[in-house]
Structures are given as C-alpha cells and as structure tokens.
Amino acid sequence: MSLDTKTWQRLEDKAHELRSLTLDTVVWAGGGHIGGSLSAMDVLTVLYHEIMNFDPKKLDGPDRDRFVLSKGHIGVGFAPVLADLGCFPKDWLKNFNHTGSPLGMHPDGSKVPGVEIATGSLGHGLSIATGMAAAAKLSGRAFRTYCLLGDGECNEGSVWEAAMAASHFKLGSLVGIVDRNKAMIDGMTEDVMSLEPFADKWRAFGWDVFDVDGHNIPQLVETFRAADTINDRPVMVIANTIKGEGIGSIAGNYKWHYGSFGADQAVEGHKELDAYHASRVAKIKEK
C-alpha cells in the first residue's frame, strides 16, 4: 500500500520542523548530539506522527504504545519531538541542559512527561523494551513497544542478550529500530567494531528483519505497518541513515556526533535544512 501524497507531505513538513527545532535547541543548549538526532528524525517523525498509538493527554494510558530511546544521548533531538506534541511547554527547550532544567542531555522519565524511561547509558534500552513487550503478552494487552538503538550501541553485549530473550519468548509486539548511520562517537562502525553482516545477525537471533532507507518516509511507513502484522517474533528495522542528514556541511561526518553551533553557523544550518526539505518535497511532486 503506497502512502498518499497528503500524508507524505505532512510527514515531510513535520520532519523538517523537528530538524529545525533540534538545531535551535542545540544552539540554546550550547551544544548537543546533533549528528545522531538528525539521522533518527525521520524514524521519530513517522513513529510519533503516523504509527504509534500516542496521546499526549493520556501519557499513562495502559494501552499506549511504548517507545524506548535506547540511544538516549539524542535527548536534544527527542525533546523537540515531545515538546512539539504538547507533552511539555516548548519554552523548556530554551533551557535544554541548563542547570535546574528538567531536560538534561539524556532524557529522564521521572522529570520529563512523555519519556517512558531514563536512558543514556547505552545497551540497556532493548532489555527494558523486551520487558515491556513481555508485560504486554502476559497481561494480554495489545500495545506495541518500539525501541530505537544506535548501531555503535550494538557493540554492547547486553543488546544481544535482549535479542536472544525477545526471540525466545516470541515477543511479537516488539519492534526494534537500529539507526544505521554507520558512524559512532569515535569513527565509522566498520572501522571501530564491525557489525556486518548486520541483518543476518538479527535473523540468526530469530528476528524478522526489514533493511530499509531510514530517510524515505513512504518506505518507513510501509515498513512499520508491515511490522505490525507480525505477531509471532520480534521485528528489527535496520534504518539506513546518514549522520547529520539535512545539514550538508556536517552530514556523513562522524566528528559531528556532538557539536555546537554559534548564531552565524546556525543561520547557515537553517538554510541547509530548508534546501534539504525543498529537495525532498520535490520528490513528492515527481510522484
């Protein structure tokens, strides 16, 4: 089923708005993990604005879909998504990571509405999400649990323990997503600790795998819809992305894992984001 152009346009516009708000938040914070925030923004947009059962007015609703940001260092990209949805005032973003702010570099579920669980220490999110999916199964509830991991994060052995358990317990409501931007904090994944053949590894652990373009909105929507029909084993979506995607001058450069933007640089950054958005929207018109 292909995505109608109205929905595609809406999601493109939202992803652009969120990339722009992320850049602003990096400026207000004095620095942040912009590379991995931008690589993940299309996935976050599609999940929160098309796929997940998420109501900012019912954050404790027992049947809400769960989202675990296992790559918790991208709080600077995640907070704009939640603020934009109305989980807390957008003004909070202006104090992101300032002393006394509820918004630290890593999201804290005890302080930030909409955050299911505190993350930031890599390697834990998939185990937590596995527990949530097990709870859904044991309680007979129909919610799904989505867990976003980094590819560098998959160097953590605990990720593979969770992978083994989720498949053993046939947790069909669990959907993992790896932001496969091929870059981590100190280099490219294949140089630091190679992951390939990555999809085969997940398959060998008993997961159903979708290997997709993580910047292609129609493909992401179609993939998550297909994942929703699989109920007998966990699903892993390998979202092939580019670190820093949207700002051409930083895209693909692992050194932009974390960085800061001064006011002038941010003006240029916004121009690049606008041009990027225009080029993507042009593809809708070509359809």
Footprint of ligand TPP (CB under 6 A) = 33, 35-36, 39, 71, 73, 120-123, 150-153, 179, 181, 183-185, 243, 257
Residue 213 vs 228, nearer CB to ligand TPP: 213
**Which DSSP category does 104 fall into?**
-
Residue pair 74/33 in contact by the 8 Å Cβ criterion: yes
The residue nearest ligand TPP at its CB is: 150
Q: How far is the CB of 35 from ligand TPP (least distance, A)?
A: 6
Cα 46 to Cα 49: distance, rounded to the nearest angstrom:
5
Residue 16 vs 71, nearer CB to ligand TPP: 71
Residue 200: how many CA atoms within 13 Å on its side-chain side? 3
User: In the structure, how many helices (H) and strands (E) does the chain have?
Assistant: 9, 5
Q: Which residues make beta-bridge pairs with 150?
A: 179
- Interhelix angle for 75-85 vs 34-46, to 10°? 40
Counting Cβ atoms within 10 Å, is residue 89 exposed (0-12), middle (13-18) or buried (19+)?
A: exposed
Q: How far is the CB of 101 from ligand TPP (least distance, A)?
A: 19
Q: How far is the CB of 279 from ligand TPP (least distance, A)?
A: 23
Residue 136 vs 242, nearer CB to ligand TPP: 242
Q: How far is the CB of 217 from ligand TPP (least distance, A)?
A: 19
Q: How far is the CB of 258 from ligand TPP (least distance, A)?
A: 8
Residue 7 vs 158, nearer CB to ligand TPP: 158
Residue 124 vs 136, nearer CB to ligand TPP: 124
Residue 173 vs 189, nearer CB to ligand TPP: 189
Cα 49 to Cα 40: distance, rounded to the nearest angstrom:
14
Q: Which residues contact 56 (CB under 8 A, 6 or more apart)?
A: 85, 86, 87, 113, 114
Q: Which amino acid is at 238?
A: I
Q: How far is the CB of 64 from ligand TPP (least distance, A)?
A: 25
